Amino acid sequence: MPPAPTPPQAAAATAPAATTAPQAPGAGQSMEMLRLLSGFQQSQALYALAKLGVATALHGGPMTVGELAKTTETDAGALGRLLHILSGIGVVTHHGEDAFALTPLGSTLVADVPGSVRDMAIMWMETHYAPFSELVTTVRTGVPAATAHFGQSFAEWLGSHPEHLPVMASAMADLTYGPKDAALAGYRLPPGEVVADIGGADGSVLVRLLADEPGRRGIVFDREHVVSTAPARLAEQGVADRIEVQAGDFFESVPAADVYLLSTVLHDWDDASCARILGRIAEAAPHGARLVVVETVLSEGDEQHPSKLLDLTMLGMVPGHERRETEFAALFAGAGFTLDRRVPGPVDSPFAILEATLTR
């Protein structure tokens, strides 16, 4: 049996000081590195479970491999091997002779259940996986891997591949009702009658925040081809009478409002582009308008933190990046907004909320 891999924190704790020559790695470190390197295979294995409906089929209870293969129209031999492999990372467990059951971790790949990230799994593997083969180019040149892979920016590529938009919208909603929801739970927007969700996609975040605020009105603002998914979401949530949908380009102009919401928008863009988006908001907003930014705030030290993995996504896919609190404050100040406070997310959510006021 190979030695158990050393957890990364333990490895960091025993790492030699930076001034001394690195010691030869032990077998534990080699195994840990191999485990990390196998990430690309594990991602595809989890994607198969999500995409082929295996996790969803198991949601009803344990099933034999034969039954599962029939239900999901898959090859029983390959499926049985995949499930046995994934039992090793806690996604399923053996259940008797030839059957498997989902674990709570595996349940996150079930369709349409609270806490599901199934559509994230599908989106990542169908739009992000291939571009990441160009990350070496990014590190050499600074050009996002997606741009190198597609020959155009990810945003431009998406514009001509609308078939990916429904799953992208659902993936964003997965985040909204999962990790983002944990950060939004109990949060109340600053006062103001009209709340504009800029880059609001299908309106999931705005709906979440205005659901129990019947006295406020909302605007979901996004590109034409994206915001077209919003009316269905608003109708389904019973808020279509007080949240309107507007198509547009936030580099050109944004609607007038009292409170502006930017949820995971700024991290898609470099500082100059963020300055333009914030500038358009400052032009449309009355003095004293409030800005609410929902983003990951980049952690400072060596610790494992989801903000670092999100920054890896940004590095590969877009010109933007995750930011430290001081970087947000500087961006806001450049457009006339003063950072008022940071509402930290709970420990199990990478997201925080930053509130600012238009003071110029």
Ligand X SMILES: C[S@@+](CC[C@H](N)C(=O)[O-])C[C@H]1O[C@@H](n2cnc3c(N)ncnc32)[C@H](O)[C@@H]1O
67 vs 271, which CB is nearer to ligand X? 271
Catalytic residues: 267
Angstrom distances, CA of residue 50 to CA of 111, 122, 179, 287, 297: 8, 7, 19, 48, 29
54 vs 318, which CB is nearer to ligand X? 318
Smallest distance, Å, CB 10 to ligand X? 35
Smallest distance, Å, CB 253 to ligand X? 10
Smallest distance, Å, CB 172 to ligand X? 4
Smallest distance, Å, CB 265 to ligand X? 5
CA distance linking residue 43 with residue 130, whole number of Å: 12
CA distance linking residue 118 with residue 106, whole number of Å: 10
- Contact with ligand X (CB under 6 A) among 10, 41, 133, 251: 251
Q: Is the dihedral of CA 190, 193, 198, 201 positive or negative?
A: positive
Q: Does 172 bind ligand X (CB under 6 A)?
A: yes
- Contact with ligand X (CB under 6 A) among 32, 119, 134, 268: 268
Smallest distance, Å, CB 97 to ligand X? 44
Q: Does 167 bind ligand X (CB under 6 A)?
A: no
CA 127 to chain centre: 13
Smallest distance, Å, CB 96 to ligand X? 41
The strand pairing partners of 297, in sequence order, are 323
Q: Does 200 bind ligand X (CB under 6 A)?
A: yes
Q: In what order do the strands lie in the sheet with 63-64?
A: 63-64, 99-102, 92-95
Amino acid (1-letter code) at residue 282: A
**Under rule CB under 6 A, how many of the chain's residues touch ligand X?**
18
Q: Indicate the residue whose CB is closest to ligand X.
A: 199
95 vs 308, which CB is nearer to ligand X? 308
Strand (E) positions, the chain? 63-64, 92-95, 99-102, 194-198, 217-222, 243-247, 259-263, 290-296, 337-343, 351-358
Q: State whether residue 97 is helix, strand or coil.
A: coil
Q: Does 55 bind ligand X (CB under 6 A)?
A: no
Angstrom distances, CA of residue 6 to CA of 33, 36, 161: 10, 12, 42
Contact region for ligand X (CB under 6 A) — 95-103, 126-134, 221-229, 302-310?
A: 221-229
Residue corresponding to tokens 């949530």: 237
Contact region for ligand X (CB under 6 A) — 72-80, 136-144, 219-227, 320-328?
A: 219-227
Q: Does 264 bind ligand X (CB under 6 A)?
A: yes
Q: Does 144 bind ligand X (CB under 6 A)?
A: no
Q: Does 263 bind ligand X (CB under 6 A)?
A: yes
Q: Does 249 bind ligand X (CB under 6 A)?
A: yes
Q: Does 355 bind ligand X (CB under 6 A)?
A: no
Q: Does 276 bind ligand X (CB under 6 A)?
A: no
134 vs 268, which CB is nearer to ligand X? 268
Cα 227–354–232 angle (5° rounding)? Answer: 20
Residue corresponding to tokens 């004293």: 288
Q: What is the DSSP letter of 298?
A: P
Give me the residues that bind ligand X (CB under 6 A), please: 155, 172, 176, 199-201, 204-205, 222-223, 226, 249-251, 263-265, 268
